[in-house]
Amino acid sequence: MNFPHLERHRNGKYYIHWTVGRRSMRESTRTDEQRTALIALAHWILDRYAENDGASDAARKRVR
């Protein structure tokens, strides 16, 4: 999997894009504001890549 990134689509909304193997994936941030989309991307990365130990849980709570 490559590192996810944001792209703005024709509808004005930002989407998170990444690939798994050879398959392209995307998920909407449901916003047309770049700042809000970047925050959504940060939360998405933390939820997706954080390990399931106590330190990660504390970090996730601190960010939210």
Per-residue confidence (pLDDT) for residue 38, from 0 to 100: 98
- The residue range of the domain holding 11 is 5-63
Outline where 1-64 has alpha helix (H).
34-49, 54-63
The chain-wide mean pLDDT, for the chain, equals 84
Amino acid (one-letter) located at 42: A
pLDDT tens figures, 18-41: 999 999 999 999 999 999 999 999
Specify the range with the lowest mean pLDDT, choosing from 7-11, 24-28, 50-54: 50-54
What percent of the chain lies above the pLDDT cut of 90?
67
DSSP assignment string, 12-24: S-EEEEEEETTEE
Domain count, the chain: 1
Residue that has been written with the tokens 């996810």 in this structure: 4
Split at pLDDT 50, 70, 90, the class of 51 is: low
Other Cβ atoms less than 10 A from the Cβ of 50: the count is 14
Compute the distance between CA of residue 49 and CA of residue 31 in angstroms, rounded to an integer.
22
Q: Which two tokens stand for residue 20?
A: 């798994």
